[in-house]
Structures are given as C-alpha cells and as structure tokens.
Structure 1
Amino acid sequence: MKQLDTVNRKILAELVANARIPISELARKVGLSKTPVALRIRQMEEMGLINGYRAILSPLQLGLTHVTYIEARLTDTRQKALEEFNDAVRAIAEIEECYMIAGGFDYLLKVRSRDMTHFRQIMAERISDLPHIHATTSYVAMEAVVEQSWTEI
C-alpha cells in the first residue's frame, strides 16, 4: 500500500462519493492534471484497490423493506461441504450478505424481502434447501439504525 499517498486517498474519496465524476473535475479537486489522475486510477485498479464501479440500488425503493438475519448451522463443515454451501448461497439473490462465523453457528445470512410472506417463501423454497443445512434461527430487524456502504479511506 505504499502507493496510497495523500493524493490517491483524495482520488479514492472522490470516487467513493461519485464514481461518475468526470476526470477533469476529479483532477481539479485533487490538484493535478487529467493524465496523472487517470494513471493513478489505472494503477489502483491494477493493484486491486479499486474492484469496479457500479450503481447502488435502494432496496427500500425496490420494495425490499423486510430484513432478516439468519443463523445457519450445517450438518457437515468439511471443506467440500462449505464450498457447496457457499456456491448455493451465492445463487440466491435475496441473500444480501453471508459470513462464515466462528462461534455457536456456522454462517450468518442477511436476507432482504418484501414482507414476512415473501421471507417465508424464500426460507421454504431456497434457504431450507441449501446443501448441508441442519438448522436455522431467524431474527427480524425492526429498524436500521446504521446502514451504509464503505466510504472511509
């Protein structure tokens, strides 16, 4: 990370705030000309520091207002079983996040749905059929107190 100097940090902060900012405006904001800014961005992309650019959709505006966290316990935690579970989880669009956990259960899933009926359908038809699933415990979120994308550089 030795190439992440103050200017690169400024570039990243601006890109996080607005990935569609024109290079000319970005260059003006960080105090360089367009060519060095473009080169720095390309270097950070090649380093893997910038993984891509995307539109961030509002789940609330899409009607996905119901958030449930699920503790999942597996019947088998050998590597092959974990890989099968991971691949199957990635195929379920409603699973917004999934983490392998060290503790009293194996995975924590964050599921977005329209309402409880939709969530029950996702549980019955998709999550309960995940490979090696033994048991689940669900926790319905009542309110998002802090919910944000990574923006600190």
Structure 2
Amino acid sequence: MANSTNLDRSDRKILFELQNDARITNTDLADRIGLSATATAERTKRLIREGYIESFSAKLVPEKIGRGFLVFVEIKLDRTSAEVFDAFKHAVERSPDILECHMVAGGFDYLIKSRVLDMDAYRRFLADVILTLPGVRETHTYAVMEEIKDTHVLPV
C-alpha cells in the first residue's frame, strides 16, 4: 500500500471532500478541488486502487434506528496467549453489536464500542455477548452521557 507521502495537494483535497460527502458527484468534486472532471475521476480511481479509500458508506442516526445509547467496555482477559487472543478476535468479528474493538496497552486488554437502545438493552448485551466472549475475566463499562465529538474524518 502506498503511503501519504505519495499524495499531492489535489489527492488530499479529494480524500477530504469524499470523507465529508461520499455522494458528491464527480463534477462537483472537480469544481471543489479545481481540476477537470476527467482528471478528478482518474485520481479518485487511483486512490481507490491504491488503497487510500477503503469503502463508501452512509452514516446513520443511531437514535432513529434504536441504537442511541453509546457504551464503551474495557475487557480484561483471564490470560493472554495467542490462542485466547485468536478466539476472542474471531468471536468479536462475528458479533454485529460490537461496532469497534481495539487491543490496547495498559491496564486492560481490549476496548469495545457498542450502541444499543437503552440500559436494559445494554444489560442484555453484556450478559449475552460480552460475558460470553472467550477469556473474559473482568469488564468495566462507561455509558456515554454526552457525545462531544464523533467523526470519521481523518486529517489529510
């Protein structure tokens, strides 16, 4: 995969604009970045081909689909071995209710992000999903009271 040093100013503008509005037409994108539509389309195809753009998606409003309650869960495993890590990883990948999972350094092993309907739904999620993950010894939950910033837009 190429790295960011291979990106010129126009490439960075394309990436920025597409992060903010992936449905923008090529013509509008070309106008915003100051290139022809043909040059913009070719650059966009190259950025996709070279792996700078992983996918395109719609950002949904969690409250409208019954997922307005945001929680983060710290997970500490009972032991840390390649087998436990692999089993945990595969179980997490199969759970649609786990939005993000990160192995972290520090006082616990994983940080999980999930969205559910409410506290009752979270209790079910904890019992039915989190506590059934392989190797889980201890959890700490952080229910989000207010989202200050939530973005997927990377600085380019």
Structure 2 match to 1:39: 42
Q: Is the 8 A contact 2:75 2:137 kept in 1?
A: yes
Out of 87, 90, 93, the residue aligned to residue 90 of structure 1 is 93
The residue identity in structure 1 corresponding to 2:132 is D
Measured in 2, the distance between the counterparts of 1:62 and 1:150 equals 23
1:26 aligns with 2:29: yes
Q: Encode CA deviations 1:77-105: one digit per residue, 9 max, x unaligned.
A: 21221121011112222222211111111
Pairwise CA distance, 1:151:
4.2
Out of 127, 131, 134, the residue aligned to residue 134 of structure 2 is 131
Q: Is the 8 A contact 2:16 2:153 kept in 1?
A: no
Q: Is the 8 A contact 2:92 2:133 kept in 1?
A: yes
Q: Is the 8 A contact 2:78 2:135 kept in 1?
A: yes
Pairwise CA distance, 1:76:
2.5
Q: Is the 8 A contact 2:71 2:141 kept in 1?
A: yes
Partner SS state of residue 134, structure 2: coil
Out of 56, 81, 85, the residue aligned to residue 84 of structure 2 is 81
Structure 2 match to 1:106: 109
Where do 5+ consecutive residues of structure 2 fail to align? none
Q: Encode CA deviations 1:48-87: one digit per residue, 9 max, x unaligned.
A: 1111111111112212121221111112321221121011
TM-score by length of structure 1 reads 0.92
The residue identity in structure 2 corresponding to 1:141 is V
Where do 5+ consecutive residues of structure 1 fail to align? none
The residue identity in structure 1 corresponding to 2:102 is Y
1:61 aligns with 2:51: no
Pairwise CA distance, 1:3:
3.0
Identity %: 36
Partner SS state of residue 70, structure 2: strand
Measured in 1, the distance between the counterparts of 2:108 and 2:39 equals 49
TM-score by length of structure 2 reads 0.90
The residue identity in structure 2 corresponding to 1:74 is L
Measured in 2, the distance between the counterparts of 1:54 and 1:66 equals 21
Partner SS state of residue 43, structure 2: helix
Q: Is the 8 A contact 1:17 1:151 kept in 2?
A: no
Structure 1 match to 2:51: 48
Displacement over 3 Å in runs of 4+: none
Pairwise CA distance, 1:17:
1.7
Greater Cα offset, 117-126 or 63-72:
63-72
